[in-house]
């Protein structure tokens, strides 16, 4: 069997979980990690250097990649660069995830241990369904969305691109969460949330609009 030589883009805590998943897949050969901090190893796999190394990896016939970065906007930018160079994105689907045969999965997605994707749900490209999170029937999860550990989405929920739902948050059925909005940890979404809003509480209430500065602050302080 010809294994897919794959580079992991990212080397933080999120990447460690992704690596566990990829190493359990006999079809994938992990060759190393891309990270601005070079030199040290994770489970014996070397941090090769920053993303300026990607063209050289392509020349070495390493054509598959996984962007293992929790921050949605940074993941978007890294995936865009890798795609422009010609990398193909694989999925990191834990053998301990439960995925309906009727679900539709994009490219470059992470389904962590204990995650559940139910009937006719759609998961967009580069989305993350983290540990123990569940996506019920007929949900439409936008590209680059990140469902943190323990999220619970009822049936028919739609999220736009780049949504972040904090740990343990929940939604009622048919809820809509607009692009690049953030739902705080433990919040319960009982109605629609527009694009680029921060909402938290029980029930979740919109507390502010989100600008680029807010997203940059999250990237620097809260994500790996």
User: Does residue 39 carry a pLDDT above 70?
Assistant: no
pLDDT of the residue at 110:
98
Confidence of residue 21 (pLDDT cuts 50, 70, 90): very high
Residues annotated as catalytic are 137
66-111 residue pLDDT tens: 999 999 999 999 999 999 999 999 999 999 999 999 999 999 999 9
Q: Is the pTM of this model over 0.85?
A: yes
Cα dihedral 94, 175, 166, 92 in deg (nearest 10): 20
Q: What percent of the chain has pLDDT over 70?
A: 92
Q: What is the mean pLDDT of residues 53-61?
A: 94
pLDDT of the residue at 223:
35
Any residues with CB less than 8 A from the CB of 185 and at least 6 apart, and which?
148, 166, 167, 168, 169, 200
Closest CA to 147 of 157, 77, 24, 35: 157
Which of helix, strand or coil describes residue 131?
A: coil
């Amino acid at each position: 069997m010809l294994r897919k030589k794959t580079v992991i883009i990212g080397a933080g805590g999120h990447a460690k979980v992704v690596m566990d998943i990829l190493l359990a897949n006999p079809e994938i050969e992990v060759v190393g990690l891309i990270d601005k901090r070079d030199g040290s190893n994770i489970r014996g796999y070397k941090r090769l250097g920053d993303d300026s190394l990607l063209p050289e990896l392509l020349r070495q016939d390493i054509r598959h990649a996984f962007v293992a970065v929790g921050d949605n906007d940074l993941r978007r930018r890294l995936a865009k660069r890798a795609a422009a160079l010609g990398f193909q994105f694989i999925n990191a689907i834990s053998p301990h995830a439960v995925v309906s045969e009727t679900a539709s999965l994009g490219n470059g997605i992470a389904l962590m241990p204990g995650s559940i994707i139910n009937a006719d749900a759609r998961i967009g490209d580069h989305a993350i369904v983290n540990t123990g999170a569940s996506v019920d029937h007929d949900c439409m999860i936008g590209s680059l969305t990140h469902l943190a550990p323990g999220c619970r989405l009822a049936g028919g929920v739609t999220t736009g691109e780049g949504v972040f739902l904090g740990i343990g948050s929940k939604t009622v059925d048919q809820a809509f969460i607009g692009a690049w909005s953030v739902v705080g940890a433990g919040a319960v979404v009982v109605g629609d949330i527009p694009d680029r809003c921060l909402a938290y509480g029980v029930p979740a209430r919109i507390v502010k609009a989100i600008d680029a500065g807010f997203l940059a602050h999250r990237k620097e302080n809260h994500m790996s």
